Amino acid sequence: MYRAHLFAFCLCFMTVLLIALILQGFRQAVDQEVHWEGQRQLVSQLGLTDLALWSEARYTRHISQADLFTPFQNMPGAPDLFPAGSILPPAFSLPQTRVEVVRQESSQ
């Protein structure tokens, strides 16, 4: 009996913990609404259309703007790129442009 009760108690504890986490999550989402409002404003100010998640290719940086309608599509999962596109790493000749940082006098 002792062991079963202890076990049941542990289960209850974990359940309560999980529920507490989920409730906390809901609350956090409500608090986040203010920040989302700010970000929404930024999106509308700059006219952004996509999340800055994948910057490796045009069709991943701006997923929603990918050339869905062009004859040779330029997007992941495009029938004419698949399956080669999923196996081949991008190894084209890349442009030679670059970024250099020039620090301000005082910061050095």
Partner 1 sequence: MTRQWKLLDYALASLLRRKGKNLSILVIYTLTVATLASVLFLTQSLRQEATKVLSGGPDLVVQRLMAGRHELVPLNYADPIRKLPGVKSVQPRVWGYYYDSLKKVNLTLMGLPAEPEILVLLEGERPSKGQEIAVGRGIADTYGFGVGDSLLLIDAAGEKQLYRITGLFETGSDLLTNDLILFPEAELRRFFAMPTNRATDLAVSVYNPREVATLAQKVRYHLPDSRPIGKTEILHTYDTVFHWRSGMLLTVSLAALIAFCILAWDKATGISADERREIGILKAVGWDTTDVLALKFWEGLAVSLVAFLLGTILAWTHTYVFGAGLLAPVIQGWSVLFPDFDLTPSVDLYQLFILGMLTVTPYIACTVIPSWKAAITDPDSVMRS
User: Is the Cβ of residue 5 or residue 79 nearer to partner 1 in the bound state?
Assistant: 5
Cα–Cα distance measured from residue 4 to residue 10, given in angstroms and rounded to the nearest whole number: 10
User: Is the Cβ of residue 83 or residue 97 nearer to partner 1 in the bound state?
Assistant: 97
Q: List the structure tokens of 39.
A: 């970000």
Give the three-class secondary structure for 98: coil
User: Is the Cβ of residue 3 or residue 79 nearer to partner 1 in the bound state?
Assistant: 3
Q: Min. distance of Cβ 73 from partner 1 in angstroms?
A: 10
Cα–Cα distance measured from residue 58 to residue 78, given in angstroms and rounded to the nearest whole number: 14
Cα–Cα distance measured from residue 62 to residue 74, given in angstroms and rounded to the nearest whole number: 11
CA atoms 58, 59, 64, 70: torsion sign: positive
Q: Min. distance of Cβ 91 from partner 1 in angstroms?
A: 10
- Where on the chain is the footprint of partner 1 (CB under 8 A)? 1-5, 7-8, 10-11, 14-15, 17-18, 21-22, 24-26, 28-29, 32, 35-36, 38-58, 60-61, 63-65, 67, 69-72, 89-90, 94-104, 106-107
Q: Min. distance of Cβ 50 from partner 1 in angstroms?
A: 7
